[in-house]
Chains A and B, each alone.
Chain A
Amino acid sequence: MWRKSKPYLLLLPATGTIVLLFFGGLFDGLLKSLGYFPAIGERQLNLDAYTNLLASDSFWDSLELTVRVAAISSLLAGLLGGLLAIALFLLNQYSEDENSRLWHRLFQLPLTIPHLVAGYVIVLLFTQSGVISKLLASVGMIDEMTDFPVLVNDPFGWGIILAYTWKEVPFVLLMVYPVLARIQKSWREVSRVYGAGNWNFIREIALPIMMPSWIIAVFIVFVFTFSAFEIPFLLGVTYPGMLPVYSFQLYTDGSLSDRPEALAVNIILALMTICLGLATYYFSKRWNVMKGWE
């Protein structure tokens, strides 16, 4: 009995902490979003916070910005990551030396940078007083530094998109390249003998093989950017903020009575993330990445 239960008991402190902090926090948030807030004397469960939220323009503006930023940055990261993966794969196919490995390592560098640092890098590079505007002004491509377009803290979210694209390209590369690397060099020879040029090889062999893992990588990037906080907080504007920032603002700037709405935003975010996660899981099962491989 002891032998059987020992591993579970040993895991108990870790699982207990996770359950308490994660699910406890989530459950507490759910209760408060439903109006159960004894600190202000509310003990009745209701959907007022959700109703108010869905009726407010701020929420819909935030949601629109969130979806836009998440979609554009994950698509851009997916496209660039996919292109880089194919380029690295071709480099590896045609060159025998160590160059391809070096390039591979170089492209993985942004993975090691924390998101907050990535945000500061974007600030330093792309603000109107940043390095790039200074460079362009000094070579005479723009007259004044203020002529440089507003790319950081802009209402469209370009700064956030730039930061996420830069950070997530290596992630997509990391997900896709190992699949491509499994393509044997002999397959290129086979395809050539049967009449496939370079483009046909990419279209018929490389792309279909990488597509399932590429789609899953883009999904993951989308889900992550959808619910991430620090970069939108640093590079976004006051209004509209992305949903996590909007929730933070409601929670910290408003009164205690605004908190159920702030937590309702979080619950909606969590639900959407769960739905997207389930969709990713469903598609990863359906497009079994390794279908047909031995």
Chain B
Amino acid sequence: MASLHINQIEKKFAPSKTGQQAPFALGPIDLTIREGEFFSLLGPSGCGKTTLLKLVAGLTEADAGNILFGDNDLTKVAPEARRFSMIFQQPLLFPHMTIEENAAFGLKMQKIGKKERLLEARRMLAMTGLSGFEHRYPDELSGGQQQRVALARALVAKPRLLLMDEPFSALDPGLREEMRELLGTIQHELGVTVLFVTHDRQEAFELSDRIGIMGGGRLLQVGTPVDLYERPESTTVASFLGLKNIVEGTVHSRNFESHDGQISINTGQELADGRYCLIFRPETLMPATFGNQATVPSVQFTGKVSKLKFNQGTYVALVQAGDEMLECMVTRDQAENMEVGQLIKIFVKQSDLQFVEY
């Protein structure tokens, strides 16, 4: 096993014949995926995630750059010789083969004997919870079961790298969650390196060791889920991660002031003067009511409660601070003691302030 190195990889697509779609360019992208790591590419539709995955698989040819697996340059190597596995959005099982024949397909291509490959396939099918289904045909299985077979087929081939292209996007939410858990467990057990493409934030955060956020054909930021969430480097990344409290303003002599002047706070960190966006995570905004007091260096400002929302166990207060509408997570007690129109003081730890240039 070895790490995957993507160096300055680029791919350009010509505009569509009808001229309705603009030309798309991916990269240049540099990325290293470590051995045994679960790495996710997260981004909106059309940002180039699948293209990058297909470049790694060899199904698409790169215009520039190279792809190394350990010391081996795979850039010109055909996909059939890379010894990777890939799971697509659809299970894409072969309809004329039984479930165990489908699962054993990779091993058959590796010229492993029938007895051995079927034994391995059955073992992997058992691991994915499909014991007893070996002799059925794909159309006798549900969508979730078919995707489990696709997972078994991918893993049984003992791939050097497992590529997954939004494999659970066609499943209903309950099944998706179940598959996520199964994949997490199996990946942990087998230690296989995974490159996973998704546009589902929850999926990426739940499964990944590290995540690469993509947008407009570029890799915008790479980091652990916690790093990305707490320290987004741009408003694009923050927006994609669902962070809505983004306040535009300027920093002058370590003081940030929003454009409308309503939020004026000490940055608590060395920043060059200029235009910045201040990102507040909803859970870091604490209403200074009911005896809540800051115990660490904090900043505070005033806002008016505009709305209270309940969402499956969490309460969110929408607080109007000048022109900005900020989301603030509150406890049930706090929510029950709040009223729409009430003026409240909000404080936030200085260490939780995240400034990005714009």
Contact = CB atoms under 8 A, between A and B. Distances in A.
A and B associate in one complex:
yes
Interface string A251-294: 00000000000000000000000000000000000000011111
A208 B101 CA distance: 13
B133 to A, nearest CB: 13
Contact of A184 (B59, B86, B92): B92
A274 B79 CA distance: 50
Counting from the closest, the 8 A-B pairs by CB-CB distance are: A195-B109, A292-B95, A292-B137, A194-B106, A193-B86, A192-B79, A293-B95, A294-B139
Given A190-B86, A292-B137, 17 more contacts: A189-B79, A189-B88, A190-B92, A192-B58, A192-B59, A193-B79, A193-B84, A193-B163, A195-B81, A195-B83, A195-B109, A196-B80, A204-B94, A205-B94, A292-B97, A292-B138, A294-B138
A187 B90 CA distance: 11
Interface of B: 57-59, 78-86, 88, 90, 92, 94-97, 105-106, 108-110, 137-139, 153, 157, 163
A178 interface: no
11 contacts: A189-B79, A189-B88, A192-B59, A192-B80, A194-B80, A194-B109, A195-B80, A196-B109, A204-B108, A205-B96, A292-B137
A292 B136 CA distance: 9
A287 to B, nearest CB: 10
B121 to A, nearest CB: 13
A149 interface: no
Nearest to A287: B96
A201 to B, nearest CB: 9
A216 interface: no
Interface string A185-226: 011011111111100100011001100000000000000000
A209 B96 CA distance: 6
B86 A291 contact: no
A66 to B, nearest CB: 35
Nearest to A187: B92
Nearest to B81: A195
A291 B59 contact: no
A294 B88 contact: no
A187 B97 CA distance: 13
A184 B95 CA distance: 11
Contacts of A186: 88, 90, 92
Interface string A170-187: 000000000000001011
A210 to B, nearest CB: 10
Q: Which of B90, B95, B157 has the most CB of A within 10 A?
A: B95
B80 A193 contact: yes
B78 A192 contact: yes
Contacts of A204: 94, 105, 108
Contacts of A208: 96-97
Contacts of A293: 95, 139
Contacts of A193: 57, 59, 79-80, 82, 84-86, 163
Contacts of A190: 86, 88, 92
B58 to A, nearest CB: 8
A292 B96 contact: yes
A14 B138 CA distance: 44
A291 B88 contact: no
A194 B153 contact: yes
B59 A189 contact: yes
Contacts of B85: 193-194
Contacts of B86: 189-190, 193
Interface in A2-60: none
Nearest to B93: A292
Contacts of A184: 92
A293 to B, nearest CB: 5
A85 to B, nearest CB: 16
Contacts of A205: 94, 96
A196 B107 CA distance: 11
A220 to B, nearest CB: 21
A294 B78 CA distance: 31
A182 B95 CA distance: 11
Given A192-B79, A195-B83, A291 B95 contact: yes
Nearest to A207: B96
A191 B78 CA distance: 12
Q: Which of B79, B80, B83, B138 has the most CB of A within 10 A?
A: B80
A239 B9 CA distance: 74
Given A193-B59, A193-B86, A195-B110, A291 B105 contact: no
Contacts of B138: 292, 294
Q: Which of A189, A190, A200 has the most CB of B within 10 A?
A: A190
A195 B59 CA distance: 12
A204 B84 CA distance: 19
Given A190-B88, A294-B139, A195 B95 contact: no
Nearest to B111: A195
A192 B77 CA distance: 12
A187 B92 CA distance: 6
Contacts of B153: 194
Contacts of A187: 92, 94
B139 A292 contact: yes
Contacts of B97: 208, 292
A189 B86 CA distance: 9
Contacts of A194: 80, 85, 105-106, 109, 153, 157
